[in-house]
């Protein structure tokens, strides 16, 4: 990637934990560009909290209070900070996981975002519709990853995402791993991690960033 790019990572509902920081660190080092994570739940909690995977209920309770407006404010602030520190940056990649996967579509309504990578973004319809309206027939590129065993994202949502973006003239690609479920990228969640799918997705992600 050239120095005009930066990467912004949107995490799962558990916050900017070890896995999310590892994503930021790896992508920044691999591609030689600034990379940061957005703690979009800070607007609710006032702290940079990390929730254990065993506290799904607590994490969900906070996540449900996070509005789209809060998310976009946090995202735009992160991008503004990156650009202030790295004035050469004009193009942003938004990469999100789970709730962050949905918010990556929403982040794409910011004209500075040129690429979106969404991993198993839940309840995406509203965000995808907003993205299609804001960026129709632009140079934006979207790559979506799903686990075929992920019951939290119906096939209808996956199909709708591709159809809406395609109808808007937005270049998009969807990859589904038939043997993987939700959160298959997260090596910290040994009950969810699917190594073969994760490695392939990582390779595809790296290639997508360089084209």
Q: Which two tokens stand for residue 43?
A: 């607007």
- pLDDT score, position 20: 97
Band (pLDDT 50/70/90 cuts) for residue 7 is very high
Q: Which two tokens stand for residue 144?
A: 């979506």
Residue 47 has pLDDT above 90, yes or no: no
- pLDDT score, position 59: 92
d(CA 122, CA 147): 12
pLDDT tens figures, 84-130: 999 999 999 999 999 999 999 999 999 999 999 999 999 999 999 99
- pLDDT score, position 143: 98
- pLDDT score, position 211: 84
Percent of the chain with pLDDT strictly greater than 70? 100
Which uninterrupted H or E stretch holds 6?
strand 5-10
Average pLDDT for the chain: 96
- pLDDT score, position 55: 94
pLDDT tens figures, 156-177: 999 999 999 999 999 999 999 9
Percent of the chain with pLDDT strictly greater than 90? 94
Please, is 179 exposed, middle or buried when counting C-beta atoms within 10 Å of its C-beta (0-12, 13-18, 19+)?
exposed
pLDDT tens figures, 141-150: 999 999 999 9
Q: Which two tokens stand for residue 35?
A: 């990379």
């Amino acid at each position: 990637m050239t120095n005009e790019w930066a990467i912004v990572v949107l995490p799962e509902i558990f916050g900017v934990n070890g896995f999310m920081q590892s994503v930021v660190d790896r992508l920044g080092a691999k591609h030689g560009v600034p990379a940061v994570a957005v703690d979009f739940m800070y607007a609710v909690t006032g702290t940079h909290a990390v929730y254990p995977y065993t506290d799904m209920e607590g994490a969900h309770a906070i996540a449900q209070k996070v509005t789209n407006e809060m998310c976009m404010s946090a995202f735009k602030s992160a991008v503004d900070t990156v650009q202030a520190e790295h004035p050469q940056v004009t193009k942003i990649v938004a990469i999100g996981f789970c709730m962050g996967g949905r918010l990556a579509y929403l982040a794409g309504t910011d004209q500075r975002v040129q690429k979106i990578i969404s991993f198993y973004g839940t309840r995406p319809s509203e965000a995808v519709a907003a993205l299609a309206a804001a960026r129709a027939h632009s140079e934006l590129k979207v790559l979506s990853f799903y686990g075929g065993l992920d019951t939290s994202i119906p096939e209808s949502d996956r199909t709708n995402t591709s159809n809406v973006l395609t109808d808007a003239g937005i270049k998009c690609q969807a990859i589904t791993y038939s043997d993987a479920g939700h959160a298959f990228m997260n090596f910290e969640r040994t009950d969810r991690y699917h190594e073969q799918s994760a490695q392939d997705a990582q390779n595809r992600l790296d290639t997508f960033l360089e084209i």
